[in-house]
Structure 1
Amino acid sequence: MPISANGPATMPGALVISLDFEINWGVRDQQTLAQYGPNLLGVRQAVPAMLALFAEYGLHATWATVGLLFFSTKAEMMANLPAVRPTYDDPNLSPYGVLGQVGEDEARDPYHFGQTLINQIRATPGQELASHTFCHYYCLERGQTAEAFRHDLQAAVRVAGAQQLSLKSLVFPRNQYNADYLAICQEAGISSYRGNEQSWIYKERSEEQQSLYKRGARLLDAYLNLSGQHTARWADMAASFPYNIPASRFLRPWSGRLKPLEGLRLRRILQGMEHAARTGEVFHLWWHPHNFGANLAENMAVLRRIADHFRYLETRYGMETLGMADVVTRLPSLPNLPAA
């Protein structure tokens, strides 16, 4: 039985996996296709590889998907855009100004359409399709508004609903969590979101508030324990609604340049998982499919080590594998929950 600081834990520990599925919609304002295109094309091999491993180990995962990926053709995309769109002070942040560059369909433009990959996710047991907003909406950038966010999220729910999908979980793009928008999420049927780690290193911020110092601290924290394990207690997640299922660790992509430190990076993750299993808490691991778009074999080897460790923790401590929506189904069994 898992043991918490207050005695035997009442709930088993859990491994939660979420992926920010966005292809070019999530990086277009930071990198060009010439710079990052190979990683984005590699998503076409990475997603099936990850799904095969998830199926092999019975791992559940939440795929937070940008709504613009749900279309098969540009004509469908253009016919389903929200009426109110973001008005960022920096126009480069909005994808709407560059829609003219999008190809006519997925076959001719693998960077901006994802319907075939979405179908593969849906066909794999234990996988949840969730929202990463419609257009990769930034909730903390100057010029954005609550009304634009509401229309964006409604568009995401609408396009998913047209494919008989009900979005219940949300990941804020760039982790720009905005507490003022939780009521809008609830209106749209969202019951959980991925919050940020509780450390100054990971505090939500706009892009202009980022700094090399903070980025460097996050990089170092991936290899050395600077900020703690960031496992979540069930009672803490149950304390408010929509439920915050906070991140524990970002699975950084394999790096040849940092290869000598790979053992530290993996150990940091495995120790967090084991802490969650021992204490009956939740370890939430996340990454982007395009992080595996290069060095796929090396990244998949790391993921397999994580899956093997989960299997050990499952046997030793009864650890569970849960998507974000699965976590929500566990929370109503706890006392003193807010009304959903």
Structure 2
Amino acid sequence: MKGHFVISLDYEIHWGVFDKKTVDEYRENLENVGKVIDRLLEMSDKYNVKITFSTVGFLFAEDKTDLFKYIPENKPTYLIEKFSPYPLLESIGNNEKEDPFHYALSRIKQIKANGNHEIGTHTFCHFYCHEHGQTVEQFDDDLKSAINIAKPLDIDIKSIVFPRNMIEANKLIDRPYLDVCHKHGIGSFRGKEKAYIYNIHTTKFYHGWYLFKMLRLLDAYISVTGSNTYKVEVINKDKKVYNLPSSRLLRAYSSKLKFLEPLKVRRIKKAMTHAAKHKEMFHLWWHPHNFGTQIDENFKNLEQIFKTYKKLNETYGFESETMTGLAKKIKASQQE
């Protein structure tokens, strides 16, 4: 297989941060998500880059009545109640026009109409698989709702990004969640980076947690953990649901650390080049709302990355692919 460039976006608007910030506390980022989507589609068309929009199921609803039709009876029973979005539903607006922070049907239709991208799932309610109190059965029902609410748009959900990356590909405790995905026809997920500072259980307490956070921040600018690129056909032998692990979070532009921005972009470009030369996958991800402030600066960085992709495509045959598109290629290569 050739090398591949994969981008997955956690498309969630306020549902991704509702347990951390109110709309007012994060308003500018949230208000500009629509503008960000427009520019992403325009720039991806320009450089022929494919994107997987891993979308929270709530965003598919036409209005509140439509949303309530798909809510599962078996909702997550988190021990910490603030992690459930369901109590918030009564206070949201009735539709996207009234409340663009909690609905996104028009944008989802826009992405689908583009024809170059994939719409996957980020679960129905931004489900946390590692939070205490929830069950695999509840995740199963949540995933059914995510799949069903997409069907009226003729969208067949085939990939998943787990909220807050709450999945560990090689741990027995998380295997039942992947079995549920397989049962529902989902063929790929975004796993964590192979480096230890990323690949730890999300809700367990770890001594030195702040050290991990500092190392992750440092790793965005200089190579602490290496390229984090992968021979996906090798790591997915005998797997039911293919793991397409993250290589790098594209952190938002930082005014405080603007002198380090060139290092951040250079780090990504070097890893992409490594993947292209060694016929591996480089998987980049972020949230559209991350680009909601300092939009021009964020897209300037992204365009540098896309220009590098174009050169690598011309030189090494490096290919942009959606998560499901790459999963199909892996399956085909294993059947040869």
**Could you tell me which residue of structure 2 aligns to residue 281 of structure 1?**
280
**Could you tell me which residue of structure 2 aligns to residue 217 of structure 1?**
215
| 1:167 positional shift | 0.4
Residue identity in the other structure for 2:2:
P
**Could you tell me which residue of structure 2 aligns to residue 236 of structure 1?**
234
| 1:204 positional shift | 4.2
Once residues 209 and 19 of structure 1 are traced to their aligned partners in structure 2, the CA distance between those partners, rounded to angstroms, is: 27
Q: What's the RMSD between the two structures over aligned residues? A: 1.3
Tell me, yes or no, if the aligned pair for 2:121 and 2:161 is still in contact at 8 Å: yes
**Could you tell me which residue of structure 2 aligns to residue 304 of structure 1?**
303
| 1:267 positional shift | 0.7
**Could you tell me which residue of structure 2 aligns to residue 122 of structure 1?**
112
| 1:223 positional shift | 0.7
Tell me, yes or no, if the aligned pair for 1:55 and 1:125 is still in contact at 8 Å: no
Residues 1:143 and 2:133 aligned together: yes
One of 70, 92, 95 as aligned partner of 1:102? 92
Aligned residue for 1:236, secondary structure, equals: helix
Q: Which runs of 5+ in 1 are unaligned?
A: 1-10
**Could you tell me which residue of structure 1 aligns to residue 81 of structure 2?**
91
Q: Percent identity over the alignment?
A: 39
User: Runs of at least 4 residues of structure 1 off by over 6 A?
Assistant: none
> When the two structures are superposed, what TM-score results if normalisation uses the length of structure 1?
0.93
Across the two proteins, how many residue pairs are aligned to each other?
Answer: 327
| 1:308 positional shift | 0.3
Residues 1:200 and 2:196 aligned together: yes
Aligned residue for 1:19, secondary structure, equals: strand
Aligned residue for 2:255, secondary structure, equals: coil
**Could you tell me which residue of structure 2 aligns to residue 152 of structure 1?**
142
Aligned residue for 2:272, secondary structure, equals: helix
Name the stretch that deviates more: 214-223 or 264-273. Answer: 214-223
| 1:12 positional shift | 1.2
Tell me, yes or no, if the aligned pair for 2:232 and 2:244 is still in contact at 8 Å: no
| 1:216 positional shift | 1.7
Name the stretch that deviates more: 235-244 or 278-287. Answer: 235-244
Q: Which runs of 5+ in 2 are unaligned?
A: 168-173
> When the two structures are superposed, what TM-score results if normalisation uses the length of structure 2?
0.94
One of 174, 184, 187 as aligned partner of 1:188? 184
Tell me, yes or no, if the aligned pair for 1:23 and 1:111 is still in contact at 8 Å: yes
| 1:236 positional shift | 2.4
**Could you tell me which residue of structure 2 aligns to residue 23 of structure 1?**
13
Once residues 135 and 29 of structure 1 are traced to their aligned partners in structure 2, the CA distance between those partners, rounded to angstroms, is: 12
Q: Deviations over 1:244-293 (max 9, x none)?
A: 01110000000111101001100110011000000000000011000111
Once residues 206 and 94 of structure 1 are traced to their aligned partners in structure 2, the CA distance between those partners, rounded to angstroms, is: 17
Aligned residue for 2:19, secondary structure, equals: coil
| 1:207 positional shift | 4.5
Residue identity in the other structure for 2:194:
Q
Once residues 227 and 335 of structure 2 are traced to their aligned partners in structure 1, the CA distance between those partners, rounded to angstroms, is: 26
